[in-house]
Amino acid sequence: MKKSFLIGFLTILIIGSLIVAGIIILDLAEDETSIGKLYMFPISVETKTYMITVRSNYSSVPEVNYFGLTKSVSVDFIGDPETAFCNITIPSDLLWGELSVIDKYYQMSDAYYTQSNNSTYNSIYFTFNHIALTKHFEIRGTEGVSELPT
């Protein structure tokens, strides 16, 4: 009787451990989705390289470019429809002044994004609903490095 009790107890302990491990793994996966992935994009303008970062939970890697003529950073998400967030961080010595967010062709209302600046970087955070093959955003500054990227 003691052997059967011990076998039952060990079986319950092992099953309980597997359930706890499964919950931890699911929690970690959900945490990565809520935090998103960090992507870094080196942008070279003349002789200087600037690092633009994008943190997003969108399922594919965004494409990032800088356009000196329009003083803007473009961020494109290409892929299946989904709802996601995006946090773009741009060096203040690349793009500065009053910033605005353009969603395809339309200027986004201030109520739909959060902007912060720590004197070194400008950060823009917003959520979006990607319903087309390509979702295009631009961050435009009133001031910025005006030379064309090399």
User: Do β-strands 82-91 and 48-56 pair in parallel, antiparallel, or remain unpaired?
Assistant: antiparallel
When pLDDT is averaged across residues 138-150 and rounded to a whole number, the result is: 81
Residue of 59, 52, 57 lying closest to 78 (CA atoms) = 59
85 beta partners: 127
CA distance 107 to 104: 8
Model confidence pLDDT, tens digit, residues 29-61: 444 456 889 999 999 988 899 999 999 999 889
Give Cβ neighbours of residue 110 (< 8 Å, ≥ 6 apart): none
pLDDT digits (tens, 9 = 90+) for 63-118: 999 998 999 999 999 988 888 999 999 999 999 999 999 998 899 999 999 999 99
What confidence category does residue 23 fall into, taking pLDDT thresholds of 50, 70 and 90?
low
